[in-house]
Structure 1
Amino acid sequence: MTPRPRSEDTPKKNSAKKPAAEKRTPAERPAAGRKAAGKAPSERAAGGRETAGPVPAGSRTQEPGNGPVPAGSGPVHAAVGPADRQRLLDGTHHDPHGVLGAHPVAGGVAFRAFRPYALGVTVVTEDLRAELRDDGDGFFSGLLPLRAVPDAYRLLVTYGETVLETEDAYRFLPALGELDLHLIGEGRHEELWRALGAEPMEHQGVTGTRFTVWAPNARGVRVAGTFNFWDGAGHPMRSLGSSGVWELFVPAIGEGELYKFDITRPDGSRTLRADPMARRTEAPPATSSIVHASHHEWRDAEWMAKRADRPVHEAPFSVYEVHLPSWRPGLTYRQLADQLPAYVRDLGFTHVELMPVAEHPFGGSWGYQVTGFYAPTARLGTPDDFKHLVDALHRAGIGVLMDWVPAHFPRDEWALAEFDGRPLYEHSDPLRAAHPDWGTLEFDYGRREVRNFLVANATYWCEEFHIDGLRVDAVASMLYLDYSREDGRWTPNEHGGRENLDAVAFLQEMNATVYRRNPGIVTIAEESTAWDGVTRATHHTGPGGFGGLGFGLKWNMGWMHDSLDYVSHEPVHRKYHHDEMTFSMVYAYSENYVLPISHDEVVHGKRSLVSKMPGDWWQQRANLRAYLAFMWAHPGKQLLFMGQEFAQGAEWSEAHGPDWWLLDPAYGAEADHRGTRDLVRDLNTLYRGEPALWERDTDPSGFAWITGDSADDNVFAFLRHAADGTPLLAVSHFSPAVRHGYRLGVPEDVPAWHEVLNTDDLRYGGSDVTNPDPVKPEPTGRHGRPASVQLTLPPLATVWLRPA
C-alpha cells in the first residue's frame, strides 16, 4: 500500500494522547515513558504472549481460493477515516468496535487496529498471515481479499525487539446481554454486580475480562491498567446505547490486574476513576481497582439453613460491636478468624456487628466515608479473606451484622463525585447534594440507576458474603430534606413537607428486596427521630400517610441518651431524674428496638462507659454492672461496643483499640476488669436461656412494672414474661446503701423466687450482698398485688430472680 501522506498538523507516530499527568499516580508515570521508547505496553499485554522475534516485513501466505495475498495490500479506504481517527485519539468514540477489528467491505475484509507505540501489526488466521500498513499515530490497516470475516484471528504486535501475539479485543460481540441492559435501564437489576464492573469470564471461546461501567454523560470511556501501562488509548470502550453503559471485553486479562476507567468528560477534559462496582481494591492510600473472582468455598451451610427458623424480634439477639482494624491492631481477616469467633462465643454474644468494612480512603472515618461500596477494605486482606472470617463466625454459631452507609459518600476526585463529569451519583441540585455536617455528598435517591446501585449493594453483601444483617447508618439524615439545614437552604417536597420522598421509596425498596431474597436476615435502622413506622412493613400505611420503611429493628437512641444521663448523676441526685429510666416504656412497643451502647458513646470526649459513672473506682464499676444488667433485662435487643465488656477506663481509639492489658492477671485485674467481663458472659448465658428476656420483646404482654416510681429509693422493679407466661423478676437499685427487707409486690401464683444473678457478687468485684436462699411470697399486698416478697437490695446493683 502507498503510505498515507501527512499534513503538518497530523500528530507523528507514537504521539497518541495520554491521560493528564495529574491524574496518574507516581507509580503510573514511569510506565508511560517506557512506551515512548518503543517498548511493549506489557509482557502481559491484552490477550498477548511474546513470540520469537518480529514478523518479516515482506511475509506472505496463500489463502485457499483467493490467490496470493501480499502483506499490507489494499486501497487507502481500508484505513480508519479522519473523523473516527480523531475521536479515537481524543478518547471520545462511542463505537470503536464499529471501526476497529475486522469488517466486510467492498473487495474483501478490512482489518484495522489501534495500537499506540507499536512498530507493526500482523493479522494471523489458520490459513493467512498478513502485515498491516502503518497509518501513523498507532493506527494500522489492510484490506484482505477474503469472502467473510474469519471466525477467529490473532494479531502479532511488534514493539521494538518484542512481538506479542494477542487476540483482537475489537472482534468480539458485546459480553453484556440485552436483559441486563434492560434491567439496568429500569433500575431493577438486583444482581448489578454481575453486570457491571470487571468480570473474568470466557466469551466466544476466549478467556478474558469484561469491563463495564455506567457513565451516561461521558463522551468516551477507555480502560487503563497494568496491562497497558495505565494508558487506555488503545482500549476504548463502546457505548451500549441509551443505557449509559460502556463495555469492553479484553482477552487474556485475568485476576489481579489493576485498572481504572479513563473518562472523557462532556467538556473534553479527562479523569481517571476507580470502578464504582469494583469487588476488590488496592489498600489505601492506593486507589486502583483490581480484577477479582472469588474462590472461597463456604462451610456454613448449617448456619445458613437455620438462620430463618425464628424471627429476629422473637429470638435472643445480643450484639458485640467491633471495629475490625483496631480490635487487635495488625491482624488480618484470616488472623481475626482465628481469634474473634472464640472470644465472642466465650462471652455468649449471639452476633457481632462490624463497623463498615467497605473500602474507604481515610481510616479515621472508621469506614463511614465509603468509596468502594462493593469491596471489603484491602487493609485486612482480600474479599475471600473476609469471607473466611464470616464463615468462621458462622461455624462458631455467631451471626454477622455489618454497618452499611448509603447516606453519603466522599468527594475524592478518583471516586464517585461527578463521576463522568457531571453529578451522577449525587443530586444535581447542590442544595440536595452537599451534606452539611460531614463535607460529603448525598446520593440522588430519585435516580433509578443510583437507587439500583444501592439496593443491589445491600443484596450483594447478604448474598456474596453471607452477611446476616445490615445496620443502616444515619437514616435520619436521609429522611429529612431539612436535616441540619437552615431555612432557605432546603426545598420542600411536592406536598410542601420536609420528608425526602425519594429516600423513603429507596429505603422501602431496599428492605423489601433484601428480605425477599435473603430469608433470615435483618435490617436495622440508626434513626434518631420519631419517624413513624421505621420497623413497620412497607405495605402498611401509618397515621402520617407513609407506608412503613420495612426495617426489622431500630436503634433506641432515646433510651440510650436518657439512661446514660440518669446513671451519670450522683446517686443523691438520681431521684430527680427517675423518669429518664422509665420513660422508654411509654414508647417501647412503637418499634422493634435495639438498645445500643455503641462506639459513638465512648469517643470524642464522651468518656468510656465506666468513666461516665460517678463515684470512686469501686462505685464506678458497681454502677456499670448494675446498668448492664438493667439493660439486658429491659425490653429490646442489646448492643455493646468492644472494650466496654471489661470496663475499659479510656475512650476508644482506632489507633490502638481496646486496652487488653487490663485483663492481664499480672495487673491484678480479676476483681476490676475480669469481673465485669465475667458478668457480661453470665448476662449473655442467662439471657439466652431465659425466653422471658427476648421472646416478647415487641409484645406489651411481655412486660409489667412492679414499681417504676420509687424515685426516693432509686429502685426499678419489673417482670418479664415468656410466651408461656414464665416470669423473670428484675430489680435495679442505683443507690450505694444496702436495703434490707425491701418489700416488692409479686404474682401470687409463684411459690418461691430464686436469685439467678446479682451484680454485687464477689466474683464480679462486688461486696457480696446477696439473697442466697429462695424467697417465698407473703400474703401482704404491695404495689397493687396481693402478694409480696422481702429482698435484700445490694448497693448499686441489679438482681434477677426467677421461679424456684
Structure 2
Amino acid sequence: MADLPDVDLEVLTAIASGTHHDPHTVLGPHLLDGPWAVVRTLRPLADEVVVTTADDEVTATHQGAGVWAAVVPAPEGADGSRHVPDYRIRTRSGTDTWTADDPYRFLPTLGEVDLHLIGEGRHEQLWQVLGANPHTYPSASGDIAGVAFAVWAPNARGVRLVGDHNGWGGTHPMRSLGATGVWELFVPDVGPGLRYKFEILGADGVWRAKADPLAKATEHPPATASVVTASTYEWHDDAWLTTRAASDPHSAPLSVYEVHLGSWRPGLGYRELAEQLVGYVSEQGFTHVELLPVAEHPFGGSWGYQVTSYYAPTSRFGSPDDFRHLVDRLHQAGIGVILDWVPAHFPRDDFALARFDGGPLYEHPDPRRGEQQDWGTLIFDFGRREVRNFLVANATYWFEEFHADALRVDAVASMLYLDYSRKEGEWTPNVHGGRENLEAIAFLQEANATAYRRTPGVMMIAEESTAFPQVTGPTSSGGLGFGLKWNMGWMNDTLRYLAEDPYNRRYHHGELTFSLVYAFTEQFVLPISHDEVVHGKGSLLRKMPGDRWQQLAGVRSFLAYQWTHPGKQLLFMGCEFAQDTEWAEHEGLRWDLLGDAGHAGVQQVVRDLNALYRATPALWELDFDPAGFEWLTADDADHNVLAYVRRSRSGDPVVVVVNFAGVPHEGYRLPLPDVPRRAPAESPRAAAGALPPAEPVETAVRPAPAPLVDGPLADGPGAATTAAPPAPGDTGADDPVWLEVLNTDATVYGGSGVGNMGRVQAEPVPYHGRRWSAEIRVPPLGALVLTPAPR
C-alpha cells in the first residue's frame, strides 16, 4: 500500500475554516503512484472515519484540522485507465455512527458553456444552474441523487454551505469555478425540503449567512432560510398556452382584476384560492387577474414590493407547486395571470442580497445611484452584466416555470431617471451629462425583448408615471419595448375631477378631456390600483362627493367611463362592489356590503360591463388607434356631459354618453354618427347568454344588438375584422334606431331608472357637424351605452 501523502497543516486549516478557494484539490479522491488513491474527508467532530468500498474497508487517519485521509486501491479498468472505486464514508462520533457519500468526489454540475454564458451575462435560464437544483450522477453502484448548489459571489474569500444536512455547521466548503465568481458543491443524499444558506466570507474578514439569491422556495417568514424544492406538478393548460402563443394579447380584450392574495379573503392558500378566486373572477367576467408581488418578501406590510427571494413564490400561501396549481386553474377558466415584478430596488435585510459577498454586489456601489432614499431600499447595479442577467432570467423564469401571461414592472420611472426623487447634488449625470439612467434603460430593453422573443403571446407592462418617450415603442427604434403602459395621467386627472362637487365640475371639464390629447401616444392601461385606495386616500366610493346614493351612482358612471375609454382597464379588488373603507393589507375585503342592494348593484354593473366589453370589438379592437375614437360632445362642461363614439376595425360604432352631473338632463340633443349598412347577424353575447334578457323598461342591461359585420363571428382578438369598411355615403336606412344596451342608472343597479325605454330614435337633424341626432334622457350621475339596432 502506498504511503499517506502529507498535506501542509495551513492548507488543511484553510479547508476546515472555509477559506480555501478549491477544497476539491485536497478533499475527495486523488490518484497516487501505482494502483492507489488517497481519499480525504472533512469530519471535524469524528472519533473514527472509515472509507468503505464494495471490496474493502480502510480506517482513515486524522491529518489535522478535522481532515481525515485513507489510501484505497485504484485498480486499472478494462479501458486501461485507473479509477477510484465507488466509496462511502462511515463516521463515528461518540456512540453515533452514520454512512454517507462524499460531496468532494463529483465533477462540477456547471459546464463550460454555462460558465461562459454566466460570464457574458447571457444565461437566460440561470435558475437551472445557480441556486439549489436536484441532480443525479450515475455510478457503478447505482445512481447517486443529491442537490447541486451554486452561488455567484465573486468577491468572497470563501463560501460554505450550511443547513439541515450538516447541523448548520461549516463542514461543506464550496469551490470557486474561476473568474466567473461562481462557487459550487454537489451534496449527495439530500433533496427537497432541505433548509440551507450560504456562509460567505467577505474581503473584510466577516462571515455572513445569506439566503440563496436563486432559491426556488423559502421558509415561512419571518424565518429566512432557503429551501430545496423540485416540481412534480403536471400542467393542464396546454390549450391556453397554444392559443396564447398564436395571438396578440395587446389587441384583445383586457380587463384586469388586481388582487392582494393575503387580504382578498384572509386565510386562503394557493389551493383554496384556485377554487374561490377563480370562481369569483370567472363570474365577474374579468379577462385577467393581476397579483401583487408573489416573490418572497420578509415583511407582509410591504405588500410584496420589497423582495428578498426573486425566484421563490411566497411560502405564506403554500408551496411553489401550489402556486402553479392556482395559475393552472385560472388558465383552465380562461383567465390570464399578470404578476407584479419589482426589479427597481430591493431591501437592505442582512440575510438577503444587500452587500452579498461583503460589499456592494447586486446594488450599485455609488450611493447616489445605489440607494433609493424614499423607500429605504437599494438599487440594482443595472450596468453589471451578471446583475442584469439575474433579473432578465428572473422574468423568463416566471413565464416559463409558472406560465405567467404578463409581468407588470413596478416603479419604472424610478429606474429611468438618475435624479428620481433626489435633490441637486444627490445624483450624478450619465456619460452624456443627462439625467437618464442609460444602464437601466438598456436593461429594460433587454428584459422586454427577451420576454417577447422567448415566450410569444406574453405581455410586459410598465408602471411608468412620466412622459418618457416610447415606453411602448419597439426597441428596434429606441423604445423601451413594453407592450402596455399604465396611464397614470388619466388616473390622476379623472380622480381629481371626480373629487369635485358636481356643481364645480364644469370648471374642471378639461381634466376629463385631456387624456384624449395623448391617448394614442402609447399603448395604455387605465389603472385604478391598490395605490389609489390606501394610505389615507380613501376608497373609490369615498372619493365621490354627496350622500351614499350619489357616491354609488358616481362609482357606477365612472366605471362605465373607464370601461369605454380607449385603453385597457384595471380595477383593484373591492372597488368592483364599491367597498366603503380604504384597503388595509391586514384586513379582508368588506364582503358583507354585498348584502346591500347599492353595493351589489355596483358589482352587477362591473359584471355587465365586462360582458358587454368582451363581446363588443368596438370597445377594444382599436384601443391604440385614433380611428377607434371620435368625440360627439367634448365641450359640454355646463352639463358635465361627455359623449363619444368607439369603433371596431370594421367601422361599427358604439356611442357612450356619460353624465357627471347630479341631475338628469331631459330632452338632451345628442349628435349621432352615421351607421354603416351591414347584414344583421346574431349577437355573440346574446348567443352565449352573457347578458340578461331585455326588460320592458330601462332597468337593466339589454341584450347586445346584432354585430353589423360581414362574415363569421368570433369572441376574441380579430373578431369580425375581415368585413369591408363602409362605402362612402352608405349610411343605412332612414331614421336609424339605437339600442340602450347599458344604463348605469337602471334600478337593478340601485339607480333611479332614468333612461330611454331601451331605444333611441335618431332624427335627420344636423347637430354638432353630424347628420343625425336624437333627443334623449340622460340619467343623473349615469352613463349610457348605445349600439345600432340590427336592420
Q: TM-score, normalised by structure 2?
A: 0.90
Whether the aligned pair in 1 keeps the contact of 2:250 and 2:459 (CA below 8 Å) is no
Q: Match for residue 21 of structure 1? A: none
Q: Match for residue 271 of structure 2? A: 334
Q: Deviations over 1:75-105 (max 9, x none)?
A: 4xx2432221121132111110000112123
The reply on whether 1:783 has 2:768 as its aligned counterpart is: yes
Which amino acid in 2 is paired with 1:191?
Q
Shift of 1:436: 1.4
Give the Cα separation in 2 of the matches to 1:132 and 1:292.
Answer: 35
Q: Match for residue 755 of structure 2? A: 770
Give the Cα separation in 1 of the matches to 2:742 and 2:322.
Answer: 40
Q: Match for residue 761 of structure 1? A: 746
Give runs of aligned pairs for residues 461-480 of structure 1, distance below 5 A. 461-480=398-417
Which secondary structure state, in structure 2, belongs to the residue aligned with residue 271 of structure 1? strand
Give runs of aligned pairs for residues 240-639 of structure 1, distance below 5 A. 240-540=177-477, 547-639=478-570
Shift of 1:773: 4.3
The reply on whether 1:643 has 2:574 as its aligned counterpart is: yes
Shift of 1:312: 2.1
Which secondary structure state, in structure 2, belongs to the residue aligned with residue 341 of structure 1? helix
Whether the aligned pair in 2 keeps the contact of 1:79 and 1:141 (CA below 8 Å) is no
Which secondary structure state, in structure 2, belongs to the residue aligned with residue 218 of structure 1? coil
Which amino acid in 2 is paired with 1:150?
V
Give the Cα separation in 1 of the matches to 2:70 and 2:626.
Answer: 81
The reply on whether 1:693 has 2:630 as its aligned counterpart is: no
Give runs of aligned pairs for residues 137-286 of structure 1, distance below 5 A. 137-144=65-72, 146-147=74-75, 148-204=82-138, 205-232=143-170, 234-286=171-223
Give the Cα separation in 2 of the matches to 1:747 and 1:162.
Answer: 89
Whether the aligned pair in 1 keeps the contact of 2:73 and 2:84 (CA below 8 Å) is no
Q: Match for residue 29 of structure 2? A: 102
Which amino acid in 1 is paired with 2:551?
Q
Whether the aligned pair in 2 keeps the contact of 1:445 and 1:503 (CA below 8 Å) is yes
Which secondary structure state, in structure 2, belongs to the residue aligned with residue 581 of structure 1? helix
Whether the aligned pair in 2 keeps the contact of 1:752 and 1:775 (CA below 8 Å) is yes
Q: Match for residue 61 of structure 2? A: 133
Shift of 1:74: 3.2
Shift of 1:415: 0.3
Give the Cα separation in 2 of the matches to 1:80 and 1:705.
Answer: 86
Q: Match for residue 646 of structure 2? A: 720
Give the Cα separation in 2 of the matches to 1:251 and 1:80.
Answer: 26
Shift of 1:738: 1.6
Instruction: Name the stretch that deviates more: 431-440 or 103-112.
Output: 103-112
Instruction: Name the stretch that deviates more: 80-89 or 254-263.
Output: 80-89
Match of 1:803 among 778, 788, 791: 788
Whether the aligned pair in 2 keeps the contact of 1:376 and 1:383 (CA below 8 Å) is yes
Q: Deviations over 1:88-131 (max 9, x none)?
A: 13211111000011212346322211112111111111222110
Which amino acid in 1 is paired with 2:116?
H
Give the Cα separation in 2 of the matches to 1:631 and 1:142.
Answer: 76
Instruction: Name the stretch that deviates more: 498-507 or 136-145.
Output: 136-145
Whether the aligned pair in 1 keeps the contact of 2:405 and 2:458 (CA below 8 Å) is yes
Q: Deviations over 1:483-519 (max 9, x none)?
A: 0111111110001100000000000000000111111
Match of 2:655 among 729, 737, 749: 729
Whether the aligned pair in 2 keeps the contact of 1:610 and 1:624 (CA below 8 Å) is yes
Shift of 1:134: 2.1
Give the Cα separation in 2 of the matches to 1:732 and 1:145.
Answer: 89
Shift of 1:747: 2.0
Q: Match for residue 672 of structure 2? A: 746
Shift of 1:144: 4.2
Which amino acid in 2 is paired with 1:208?
G
Instruction: Name the stretch that deviates more: 352-361 or 779-788.
Output: 779-788
The reply on whether 1:117 has 2:45 as its aligned counterpart is: yes
Whether the aligned pair in 2 keeps the contact of 1:134 and 1:141 (CA below 8 Å) is yes
Which secondary structure state, in structure 1, belongs to the residue aligned with residue 118 of structure 2? helix
Q: Match for residue 709 of structure 2? A: none
Q: Deviations over 1:598-617 (max 9, x none)?
A: 00000011000010000011
Q: Deviations over 1:229-255 (max 9, x none)?
A: 1012x2111100101000000011111
Which amino acid in 1 is paired with 2:636?
S
Whether the aligned pair in 1 keeps the contact of 2:58 and 2:71 (CA below 8 Å) is no
Give the Cα separation in 2 of the matches to 1:738 and 1:213.
Answer: 67
Shift of 1:152: 1.3
The reply on whether 1:705 has 2:642 as its aligned counterpart is: no
Which amino acid in 2 is paired with 1:86?
T
Shift of 1:149: 4.2
Instruction: Name the stretch that deviates more: 126-135 or 95-104.
Output: 126-135
Give the Cα separation in 1 of the matches to 2:250 and 2:510.
Answer: 26
Which secondary structure state, in structure 2, belongs to the residue aligned with residue 331 of structure 1? coil
Give the Cα separation in 2 of the matches to 1:315 and 1:644.
Answer: 23
Which secondary structure state, in structure 2, belongs to the residue aligned with residue 281 of structure 1? coil
Give the Cα separation in 1 of the matches to 2:17 and 2:191.
Answer: 27
Shift of 1:308: 3.4
Q: Deviations over 1:504-556 (max 9, x none)?
A: 0000000000111111100100000000000011001xxxxxx1000000000
Give the Cα separation in 2 of the matches to 1:781 and 1:164.
Answer: 95
Whether the aligned pair in 1 keeps the contact of 2:37 and 2:84 (CA below 8 Å) is no
Which secondary structure state, in structure 2, belongs to the residue aligned with residue 393 of structure 1? helix
Which secondary structure state, in structure 1, belongs to the residue aligned with residue 16 of structure 2? helix
Q: Deviations over 1:375-397 (max 9, x none)?
A: 00000000000000000111111
What count of residue pairs does the alignment treat as equivalent? 719
Whether the aligned pair in 1 keeps the contact of 2:567 and 2:620 (CA below 8 Å) is yes
Whether the aligned pair in 1 keeps the contact of 2:12 and 2:64 (CA below 8 Å) is no
Whether the aligned pair in 1 keeps the contact of 2:741 and 2:758 (CA below 8 Å) is no
The reply on whether 1:82 has 2:9 as its aligned counterpart is: yes
Q: TM-score, normalised by structure 1?
A: 0.88
Shift of 1:743: 0.6
| Identity value in percent | 60
Whether the aligned pair in 1 keeps the contact of 2:738 and 2:761 (CA below 8 Å) is yes
Give the Cα separation in 1 of the matches to 2:390 and 2:785.
Answer: 48
Give the Cα separation in 2 of the matches to 1:740 and 1:641.
Answer: 35
Match of 1:653 among 584, 602, 612: 584
Query: Judging changes above 3 Å, is the alpha-carbon distance between structure 1 residues 145 and 151 closer, same or farther for their aligned structure 2 residues?
Result: closer
Whether the aligned pair in 2 keeps the contact of 1:277 and 1:372 (CA below 8 Å) is yes
Which amino acid in 1 is paired with 2:768?
H
Instruction: Name the stretch that deviates more: 755-764 or 429-438.
Output: 429-438
Shift of 1:146: 4.3
Structure 1 alignment gaps of length 5 or more: 1-68, 541-546
Which secondary structure state, in structure 1, belongs to the residue aligned with residue 490 of structure 2? helix
Shift of 1:189: 0.3
